[in-house]
Amino acid sequence: MARVHFLKKNRTRKPSVFRLGKYTLAPGETRVVTKTHSFRVTSTRTYYPGTQALSLVINGLEGELVDFELIQA
């Protein structure tokens, strides 16, 4: 799972979870998983410019947050 921590209007973050699939890997085996996400303005979600964050959840454990900057187009 990917957990995207979207910036809210009050400058706090709200995590949203996105499933990337369910995989079983042998020890030492690797797998590349990709996901795209549209930040287009919609009637159901408003995106606020600023520092957002992303983390991966693997085996129920959330990894380190990685920040990224969302700029207004």
User: Can you give the pLDDT at residue 51?
Assistant: 95
Angle at CA of residue 5, ends 13 and 44, nearest 5°: 85
Average pLDDT over residues 13-41: 92
Segments forming the whole domain that contains residue 42: 2-70
List, as own/partner pairs, every contact residues 16-24 make where C-beta atoms lie below 8 angstroms and the sequence separation is at least 24, other chains included.
Answer: 17/57
End-to-end CA distance of the chain: 28
Q: Which residues pair with 20 in a beta bridge?
A: none
Per-residue pLDDT reduced to its tens digit, 29-73: 999 999 998 888 888 888 999 999 999 999 899 999 999 999 987
66 near 11, Cβ under 8 Å?
no
Domains in the chain: how many in total?
Answer: 1
